[in-house]
Amino acid sequence: MTHQDLQNIARDYGSPVYVYDAAKIASQYHRLTAAFSGVKNLRLNYAAKALSNISILKYMNSLGSGLDTVSVQEVDLGLIAGFSPESIIYTPNGVSMEEIEKVASKGVQINIDNLSILEQFGSKHPDVPVCIRINPHVMAGGNANISVGHIDSKFGISIHQIPHLLRIVENTGMHINGIHMHTGSDILDIEVFLYASEILFETAKNFDRLEFLDFGSGFKVPYKPNDIETDIEELGTKLTKRFNAFCKETGKDLTLAFEPGKFLVSEAGYFITKVNVVKQTTSTVFAQVDSGFNHLIRPMLYNSYHHIFNLSNPDGKERFYSVVGYICETDTFANNRRIAEINEGDLLCFKNAGAYCFSMASNYNSRYRPAEVLWLNGEAHLIRKRETFDDLLHNQVSIEIPVSEPALAEKK
Ligand SMILES: *Cc1c(COP(=O)(O)O)cnc(C)c1O
């Protein structure tokens, strides 16, 4: 999609607005499947939490993707979007036994990540196949909040607890059909990833009814111009070789699964905002846009980088700006960033706005969540309306408040 397309969308749907380029989602999907074309049975399960709009889910389904979910609500969204229960995997953390049973009853593959639930579930439903999430204690991620493989992480069953796990499986007679790991986001070092994979293979040898091995996700995408990213092709070559050797060695015809979120949708997303105010202080020039961390929290939450360009004046002389929002709280999107000269009313466009952007948006400051538009086959499709005042009041209960004594006294 072109700058002109983005401008037209902002004109037609207003700002702020999220725009997703379907062609980019498809090319990422095909890049990953091509990298693993040497694997006989490959499954990509899109991690719904990255961007869970129903039309995006439908689009993923049309590409042939499965779905990775973390809540019963995501499961239901997936079912509504047309995914079959068998093409959904449910990988929650710290949810109740009731929720897990509810999801299992829908025919969705469940993935259990703690021994307490494993024992409870195995005792009650020994015939329902279960995948187990292990924690190989390998630090593969970037920021501490997105790295989930470390020893203090709440995710997964520690590999040091495998003996206990095996005892539960034996005592309950439950059916383990998959082993899973997800070590964190922004993986760059393929050797570290392969090292963690060895732990998965080693663990897998304990189970004779396995159907799949799930290597999670966490592929890093480029954020800055010329940024480094996970070398998917190299990972594909190396892991394919190792995976095929493992299948041969153990005589098993396994499926290799991944559950990418960011890799599939991050770069497909653009977030367009309008500059309300250009504010010169003694030390900085602020460009204040009609948004804030209520709409895009990643810079404040993870210190993440979103490239920002001036859609209205792309070829203007570059100057340094701090791009901030309009909410009453510090909501810095970018500090001291070189951007083509900004005037009030200009449209600023944020890149990498597909993953964990809209899906983390809130109504903080009683602002509306933005509209979402899918750019598909050269046409803009509105896939979520901008909220309205009614949405803010929806679900609120306005009760009768008795007038207090002091207020009555004051009135007299
Ligand atoms: C969030 C999550 C993913 C997706 O991670 P990305 O870094 O967006 O690819 C995959 N698997 C699980 C279990 C997750 O929680």
Instruction: Give me the catalytic one of 131, 247, 328, 357.
Output: 328
Give me the pLDDT at residue 142, please.
54
Q: What is the DSSP string of 347-372?
A: EEEESS-SSSSGGG---GGGPPPPEE
Q: How far apart are CA 6 and CA 393, in angstroms?
A: 31
Q: Which atom of ligand 1 is nearest to the CA of 133?
A: 13
Which atom of ligand 1 is closest in space to residue 266's alpha carbon? 8
Is position 328 annotated as part of the catalytic site?
yes
In tens, the pLDDT along 321-344 reads 999 999 999 999 999 999 999 999
Q: Give the tokens for residue 229.
A: 């990213």
Per-residue pLDDT tens over the stretch 123-135: 999 999 999 999 9
Q: Are 294 and 364 in contact (CB under 8 A)?
A: yes
- What residues are in contact with ligand 1 under a 6 Å CB criterion? 47, 49-50, 68, 70, 91, 182, 185, 216-219, 259-263, 355
As given in the structure block, the two tokens for residue 162 are 């495998």
372 is annotated as contributing to ligand binding: no
Which pair of tokens denotes residue 156?
């997964």
The token pair at 187 is: 């993986």
Cβ count near 299 (within 10 Å)? 19
Residue 147 reports pLDDT greater than 60: no
Give the SS3 label for residue 32: helix
| Rounded distance from Cα 91 to ligand 1 centre (Å) | 9
Tell the burial category of 357 from Cβ atoms under 10 Å away from its Cβ (0-12, 13-18, 19+).
buried
How many CB atoms sit inside 10 A of residue 327's CB?
A: 15
Q: Confirm if 240 and 285 have CB atoms less than 8 A apart.
A: no
pLDDT band at 408 (very low <50, low <70, confident <90, very high): confident
- CA dihedral 297→298→299→304, nearest 10 degrees, is 180
Q: Are strands 130-135 and 66-69 parallel, antiparallel or unpaired?
A: unpaired
Burial 199-214 (b: 16+ CB within 10 A, else e): bbbebbeebeebbbbb
- 321 annotated ligand binder: no
> What pTM, to 2 d.p., does this model score?
0.95
Hey, which of 51, 67, 112, 217 would you mutate to test ligand 1's pocket, going by the most ligand atoms within 8 Å of its Cβ?
Answer: 217
Of 49, 90, 95, best ligand 1 pocket probe by most atoms within 8 Å of the beta carbon: 49
Q: How far is the CA of 260 from the centre of ligand 1 (A)?
A: 6
Q: Which of 25, 68, 111 to mutate to test the pocket of ligand 1 (most atoms within 8 A of CB)?
A: 68
CA–CA separation, 119 vs 68, rounded Å? Answer: 23
For the cut 90, the answer to whether the pLDDT of residue 184 exceeds it is: no
CA 45 to ligand 1 center in whole angstroms: 10
349-383 pLDDT tens trace:
999 999 999 999 999 999 999 999 999 999 999 99
Q: What is the pLDDT of residue 403?
A: 86
Q: Where in the sequence of the chain do the CATH 2.40.37.10 domains occur?
A: 269-384
302 appears as a binding residue in the annotation: yes
Q: Which amino acid, residue 131?
A: C
Strands 308-310 vs 176-180: parallel, antiparallel or unpaired: unpaired
Percent of the chain with pLDDT over 70: 96
Is 364 annotated as a binding-site member? Answer: no
SS3 content of the chain, % helix, strand, coil (to 5): 35, 25, 40
Report CA(44)–ligand 1 centroid distance (Å).
12
Say if residue 187's pLDDT is above 90: no
Q: State pLDDT tens for residues 56-113.
A: 999 999 999 999 999 999 999 999 999 999 999 999 999 999 999 999 999 999 999 9
Residues of the chain with CATH 3.20.20.10: 36-260
Cα(326) to ligand 1 centroid in Å equals 30
Q: Which atom of ligand 1 is nearest to the CA of 260?
A: 9
Task: List phi, psi (to 5°) of 187.
Answer: -70, 130
* Residue 341 is assigned to a ligand binding site: no
Q: Which CATH number fits domain 36-260: 3.30.70.890, 3.40.50.11540, 3.40.50.720, 3.20.20.10?
A: 3.20.20.10
The number of the ligand 1 atom at minimal distance from the alpha carbon of 184 is 7
Assigned fold of 269-384: Lyase, Ornithine Decarboxylase; Chain A, domain 1 (2.40.37)
Q: Tell me how far apart the alpha carbons of residues 342 and 293 are, in angstroms, rounded to a whole number.
A: 21
**For residue 291, how far is its CA from the centre of ligand 1 (angstroms)?**
26
Q: Give the CA distances from residue 141 to residues 192, 207, 320, 325, in Å, rounded to whole numbers and listed in that order.
A: 10, 28, 31, 28
Whole-number Å distance between alpha carbons of 122 and 102: 15
Mean pLDDT computed over every residue of the chain = 94
Q: What are the structure tokens assigned to 244, written together?
A: 């095929």
Q: How many CA atoms lie within 13 A of 238 on its CB side?
A: 14
Of the candidates 121, 139, 138, which has an alpha carbon nearest to the alpha carbon of residue 130?
121
Kindly give, in sequence order, each residue whose CB lies less than 8 Å from that of residue 201, ignoring residues fewer than 6 positions away.
213, 242, 246
CB 275 within 8 A of CB 16: no
Q: Which atom of ligand 1 is nearest to the CA of 218?
A: 7
Distance, first Cα to last Cα, the chain: 66
Residue showing tokens 């259990």: 112
